[in-house]
């Protein structure tokens, strides 16, 4: 069975702001028991129900926040009031906000990170429902045997939050615009990214499933192309750097027709370091793309330069000519499963 994940610009939403509100707690009851032949039955007011929570829940079947794009307000149900016979009011209905794995939840006012969702089914309460008030039977004592008061419920919580998706992919493609990332993704996976001969063809990440032997697979992400100054937010650097934080392997693509392969690689690595030095701890692999443009003599010359100056493994491939792709998948699978 073949399955596909194709996230293109139109339906890839990775940033959503919303207002969330929990439910009020129900009021406790101040009821006094009255029954035929029982004139002084005493207090029997029940507790109010808890207000509903707003809960963020991870869903591994989601790859984008597009389903929340126009859902900017989430409000949980209020707790019901307590009643006679020590009956507790019903709890307010909880509201669940389903998000893809890799979603960071921030407080919009302070920009502080509240938590991150990384596992399927993981649930985190973003605003708690108010506790229900206690009924008057709790307050009966030897001094006051007929209390005529009960607690009100705790009011709801409200908060403005920002949901920010950082792509969780096994392999992230790193390179300058026009390095051939979209083309490689299109031939290795079922994804259909936009491909053209101009800068920033990819404006937002594209995800694809790379099928491997024995029905195994891994996820590859084509990240927007990086330029010098991306760490300062130039070009589309913000999208690039934010999404690549969550990739297991960084696959650097350097086009064969680059003026200086080593210089391009060093610029890319330097942008990663300036944004977040921890990204340099990830596994790296370099591919020289569009290598069908090189004859054997040129390829030997380029290989000699790479052997001398590159600290990581590399490989020559051509997505268009279908050269080296099987070997590349073997290499990536081995790196992912060491």
- Sheet strand arrangement including 217-222: 206-211, 217-222, 171-174, 249-255, 283-289, 314-316
Q: List, for residues 278-308, the tens digit of each pLDDT value.
A: 778 888 999 998 888 888 888 899 999 999 9
Q: Please, are residues 276 and 245 in contact by the beta-carbon 8 Å criterion?
A: yes
Confidence band for 198, pLDDT divided at 50, 70 and 90: very low
Query: How far is 101 from 6, CA to CA, in rounded Å?
Result: 16
pLDDT of amino acid 241: 58
Q: What is the mean pLDDT of residues 229-241?
A: 47
Determine if residue 247 is labeled as part of a ligand binding site. Answer: no
Beta strands in 28-111 (DSSP E): 54-58, 73-75, 95-99, 103-107
Tokens of 64: 């984008």
* 140 has binding-site annotation: no
Residue 291 annotated as part of some ligand binding site: yes
Question: Does the annotation place 8 within a ligand binding site?
Answer: no
Cα angle 242-245-251, degrees, rounded to a multiple of 5: 110
DSSP 65: S
300 is in an annotated binding site: no
182 known member of a binding site: yes
Instruction: Label the pairing between strands 158-165 and 171-174.
Output: unpaired
Q: Tell whether 178 is in a known binding site.
A: yes
pTM of the entire predicted model: 0.64
- Provide the 10 A C-beta neighbour count for residue 245: 18
pLDDT in the model for residue 244: 65
Token duo for residue 180: 């051939």
Looking at the DSSP bridge assignments, the partners of residue 161 are 18, 107
* 204 annotated binding-site participant: yes
179 annotated ligand binder: yes
Name every residue whose Cβ is closer than 8 Å to that of residue 103 and which is 6 or more positions away in sequence. Answer: 56, 58, 65, 116, 117, 163, 164, 165, 166
**H helix runs in 113-260, sequence order:** 181-188, 237-244
Residue 120 in tokens: 């399927």
Give the list of residues 6+ apart from residue 132 with CB closer than 8 angstroms, or none: 25, 26, 27, 28, 47, 48, 49, 50, 51, 79, 82, 88, 89, 91, 153, 154
Please give the pLDDT value at position 38: 65
Ligand-binding site membership of 329 (annotated): no
Q: Is 306 annotated as a binding residue?
A: no
Is 290 annotated in a binding site? The answer is: yes
* Residues 223, 205 contacting (CB under 8 angstroms): yes
What is the pLDDT confidence band of residue 95, given thresholds at 50, 70 and 90? Answer: very high
φ, ψ dihedrals at 222, nearest 5°: -95, 110
pLDDT > 70? residue 231: no
User: Distance (Å, rounded) from C-alpha 332 to C-alpha 266?
Assistant: 21
Distance CA 161, CA 275 (A): 24
Distances (CA, A) of 143 to 22, 48, 77, 136, 285: 38, 25, 38, 14, 78
Give pLDDT, residue 225: 54
Q: How confident is the model at residue 243 (pLDDT cuts 50, 70, 90)?
A: low
Least confident of 85-89, 91-95, 200-204, 263-267: 200-204
CA distance 119 to 131: 29
Q: CA 292 to CA 51: how far, in whole Å?
A: 64
Secondary structure letter of residue 50 according to DSSP: P
Q: Is 304 annotated as a binding residue?
A: no
More confident residue, 5 or 220: 220
Q: Is 202 annotated as a binding residue?
A: yes
> Nearest CA to 6 among 238, 220, 252, 289?
220
pLDDT of 209 higher than 80: no
Residue 177 annotated in ligand binding: yes
Which domains are assigned to the chain?
Answer: 1-166 (2.70.210.12), 171-337 (3.40.50.300)
């Amino acid at each position: 069975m073949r399955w596909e994940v194709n996230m293109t610009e139109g339906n890839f939403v990775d940033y959503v702001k919303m207002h969330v509100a929990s439910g009020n707690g129900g009021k406790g009851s101040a009821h006094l028991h009255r029954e035929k032949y029982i004139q002084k039955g005493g207090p029997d007011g029940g507790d109010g129900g808890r207000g509903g929570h707003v809960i963020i829940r991870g869903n591994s079947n989601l790859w984008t926040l597009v389903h929340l794009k126009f859902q900017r307000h989430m409000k949980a149900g209020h707790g019901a009031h307590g009643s006679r016979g020590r009956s507790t009011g019903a709890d307010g209905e909880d509201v669940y906000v389903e998000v893809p794995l890799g979603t960071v939840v921030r407080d919009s006012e302070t920009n502080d990170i509240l938590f991150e969702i990384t596992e399927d089914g993981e649930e985190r309460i973003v605003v708690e429902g108010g506790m229900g008030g206690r009924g008057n039977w709790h307050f009966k004592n030897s001094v006051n045997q007929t209390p005529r008061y009960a607690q009100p419920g705790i009011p709801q919580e409200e908060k403005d939050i920002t949901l920010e998706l950082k792509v969780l992919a096994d392999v992230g493609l790193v390179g300058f615009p026009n390095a051939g990332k979209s083309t490689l993704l299109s031939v290795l996976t079922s994804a259909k990214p936009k491909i053209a001969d101009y800068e920033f063809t990819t404006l937002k990440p594209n995800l694809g499933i790379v099928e491997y032997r024995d029905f195994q697979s891994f996820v590859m992400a084509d990240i927007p192309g990086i330029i010098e100054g991306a760490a300062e937010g130039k070009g589309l650097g913000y999208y690039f750097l934010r999404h690549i934080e969550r990739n297991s392997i960084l696959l650097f693509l350097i086009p064969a027709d680059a003026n200086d392969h080593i210089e391009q690689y060093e610029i890319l690595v330097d942008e990663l370091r300036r944004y977040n030095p921890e990204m340099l701890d990830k596994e790296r692999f370099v591919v020289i793309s569009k290598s069908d443009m090189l004859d054997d003599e040129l390829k030997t010359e380029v290989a000699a330069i790479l052997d001398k100056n590159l600290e990581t493994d590399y490989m020559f491939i051509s997505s268009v000519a279908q050269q080296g792709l099987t070997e590349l998948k073997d290499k990536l699978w081995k790196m992912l499963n060491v």
